Amino acid sequence: MKYDPMRNPDPEAWLELGEYERIQLVEQYHRRQKIRMPSLKAHSVIHTVVENQVAMGDSYLAKGVLERLMNEGLDRHEAVHCIGSVVAGQMFAAMKGTAKTDLKPDYDWKLLRLTAKSWKESHRD
């Protein structure tokens, strides 16, 4: 399997892979594209979390939010990054010890409020 964030991976095939394999596929994509970043591993882990949630369908809001963000004008890769920014924020709060015990309600609330416009505005150069 080759990963391309501009295309939906087949959910069953994606979820059949081990977590390490999924992360490796995301890393390989970014290396092929020569996309540089401070931490390829951290970036790939967050990508993988988002793709896992999208592949799990209705168990998470990510699939519907991804589709909505794309309808608002983001390409699929940008939409994965947009959702990933919320994942990263939740992970950071959990590591700092400032997150609530149950992260899902707060995560869902943030995903529902997320818009392509707000994300673009927060990521201007």
**From CA 125, how far away is CA 120, in angstroms rounded?**
10
Amino acid letter at 123? Answer: H
pLDDT tens column, 44-99: 999 999 999 999 998 899 999 999 999 999 999 999 999 999 999 888 877 777 76
Q: Angle 104-113/76-96 helices, nearest 10 degrees?
A: 140
pTM listed for this prediction: 0.92
pLDDT band at 125 (very low <50, low <70, confident <90, very high): low
pLDDT of residue 123 exceeding 90, the answer is no
The pLDDT value recorded for residue 100 is: 67
